[in-house]
Amino acid sequence: ARPAGGLGPDVSLPAEHQHARYNPLRDDWVLVSAHRVKRPWQGQLEKPPPEDVPRWDPNNPLCPGATRANGEVNPQYEGTFIFPNDFPALQPDAPEPDDSDHPLFRAAAARGVCKVMCFHPWSDLTLPLMSLEEIRAVIDAWAELAAELGASYPWVQIFENKGAMMGCSNPHPHCQVWASSFLPNEARLEDRTQRQHLSQHGVPMLLDYAEQEAHRKERLVVENTDWLVVVPYWATWPFQTLLLPRRHVCRLQDLRNSERDSLASIMQRLLIKYDNLFEVSFPYSMGWHGAPTGPYLEEDCGHWQLHAHYYPPLLRSATVRKFMVGYEMLAQVQRDLTPEQAAERLRSLPEVHYKQRTE
């Protein structure tokens, strides 16, 4: 194992042989079996996403002027559009559960609100095909919602499921924002591990990690003055990435204007590379993690560092995905492609979208 703080290359890691890597953010391990990527594939093939999505469809409930399931008519919006989820997983007035009669049968209150945010009025656009100004408007809307809902709720989860492969039932560019009265599992886990790292090493974990990756560069995908994107050392999904600020920032709403501009740029560059990898609208689930809010706004959350996770399922092509089953569900996460190999593939891709090339 490498001593903490070492800056040398990862020469001790076998590129073609299995080994385990530690994820300090989740306090768990991933099995890396790079030799398995050579095996022939005879499993399920996915359908590529449709290329003929209409720009406007009166029957699409996310389009401007369309009628949603609850009978409400969307405005003729021209930028971002935010509305309460018509089928929310969390509601603000849920009743308190009854007291448990046994420690193995516990329940707790779970309240909150769920919102939907449309990125753009056109259904045939995705974030990598939007302009920098349009992406910046999305970032501003994210930060505004995070501050608004975070004024009272401990956790505000912004997440985007892109593509039918990731459970998205509507091709219109959009995300969801769920605010909860509790810290979800991933938030509680990251709160604990980041707090421990700051206590033991005197520096926020992901600020330390960003500086290390910026120096090593072997897992770097894209970078600019304020941000960097890496395939994390402990990545589980084949082309998983981690988006990190270079400055210590606790929450999305704390970003400066210049950092929001550079965030729009680096998001566009990353997502263009994703689409260019297999020349398809690349599916993924992504989400922002930052310091808790609500009552935590009065506490010291300096152990937190803002970051975004991107979890794409594709492995070999637009039709071959990575399945998290069997061993992954019952024992430990396993991957076939090393993070370094994945980063090199993404890094080498052009930053002009394949649909916009003039060849």
Percentage with pLDDT > 70 across the chain? 92
Binding residues: 36-39, 69, 85-86, 161, 167-169, 176, 190, 289, 307, 309, 322-323, 327-328, 334
Give the pLDDT band (50/70/90) at residue 3.
Answer: very low
Q: What is the DSSP letter of 35?
A: G
The pLDDT of residue 322 is: 87
The structure tokens listed for 193 are: 């591990």
Structure-model confidence comparison of residues 231 and 7, the more confident one: 231
Q: Is residue 195 a contact partner of residue 325, using CB atoms and an 8 Å limit?
A: no
Q: How many CB atoms are located within 10 Å of the residue 226 CB?
A: 20
Binding residues for Fe cation: 190, 289, 307, 309
Superfamily of the domain at 185-350: HIT-like (3.30.428.10)
Mean per-residue pLDDT, 236-248: 97
The pLDDT of residue 5 is: 40
Distance of CA 12 to the CA centre of its chain: 30
Helices 339-347 and 257-278 sit at what angle, rounded to 10 degrees? 100
Mean per-residue pLDDT, 303-309: 98
Lowest-confidence pick of 59-63, 155-159, 168-172, 207-211? 168-172
The pLDDT of residue 38 is: 58
Mean per-residue pLDDT, 67-82: 96
Lowest-confidence pick of 1-10, 217-226, 295-304? 1-10
The pLDDT of residue 39 is: 56
The pLDDT of residue 201 is: 98
How far apart CA 136 and CA 242 sit, in angstroms, is: 19
Query: pLDDT at residue 45 above 80?
Result: no
Which of 45, 53, 47, 62 has its CA nearest to residue 355?
Answer: 53
Helix, strand, coil % over all residues of the chain, rounded to 5: 30, 20, 50
Distance of CA 93 to the CA centre of its chain: 29
Query: pLDDT at residue 254 above 60?
Result: yes
The pLDDT of residue 90 is: 95
Query: pLDDT at residue 8 above 50?
Result: no
Mean per-residue pLDDT, 291-315: 96
Structure-model confidence comparison of residues 166 and 270, the more confident one: 270
The structure tokens listed for 279 are: 């020349």
DSSP of 169-187? ---SSEEEEEEESS--HHH
The pLDDT of residue 164 is: 78
Name the fold adopted by 66-180: HIT family, subunit A (3.30.428)
Give the pLDDT band (50/70/90) at residue 36.
Answer: low
Report the side by side order of strands in the sheet with 307-311. Answer: 81-84, 112-118, 174-180, 155-162, 284-289, 307-311, 241-245, 227-230, 220-223
Distance of CA 78 to the CA centre of its chain: 25
Q: Is residue 62 a contact partner of residue 118, using CB atoms and an 8 Å limit?
A: yes
- Segment 18-30, tens digit of pLDDT: 899 999 999 999 9
Question: Pairing mode, if any, of strands 28-32 and 333-335?
Answer: parallel
The pLDDT of residue 318 is: 84
Whole-model pTM: value is 0.93
The pLDDT of residue 43 is: 56
The pLDDT of residue 2 is: 37
- Segment 116-143, tens digit of pLDDT: 999 999 999 999 999 999 999 999 999 9
- Segment 93-111, tens digit of pLDDT: 989 999 988 999 999 999 9
The CA angle 77-80-85, to the nearest 5 degrees, is: 95
Query: pLDDT at residue 234 above 50?
Result: yes
DSSP of 284-340? EEEEEE----GGGGGS--TT---EEEEE--B-SSSS-B----THHHHT-EEESS-HH
CA dihedral 129, 132, 138, 139 (to 10 degrees): 130
For the question of residue 102 being annotated catalytic, the response is no
Using DSSP's 3-state secondary structure scheme, residue 165 falls into helix
How far apart CA 23 and CA 187 sit, in angstroms, is: 15
Helices 132-150 and 257-278 sit at what angle, rounded to 10 degrees? 120
Binding residues for UDP-alpha-D-glucose: 36-39, 69, 85-86, 161, 167-169, 176, 322-323, 327-328, 334
Task: Compute CA distances 175 → 83, 139, 322, whole Å.
Answer: 11, 12, 23
Q: What is the domain partition of the chain in residue ranges?
A: 66-180, 185-350
Q: Please tell me the number of Cα atoms within 13 Å of 301 on its side-chain side.
A: 23
Structure-model confidence comparison of residues 45 and 79, the more confident one: 79
Query: pLDDT at residue 49 above 50?
Result: yes
**Catalytic: which of 120, 172, 174, 197?**
174
Give the pLDDT band (50/70/90) at residue 165.
Answer: confident
The pLDDT of residue 81 is: 98
The reply to whether domains 66-180 and 185-350 share a CATH topology is yes
Q: What is the mean pLDDT of the chain?
A: 91
Q: Exposed, middle or buried by CB within 10 Å (0-12, 13-18, 19+), for 97? A: exposed
Query: pLDDT at residue 13 above 60?
Result: no
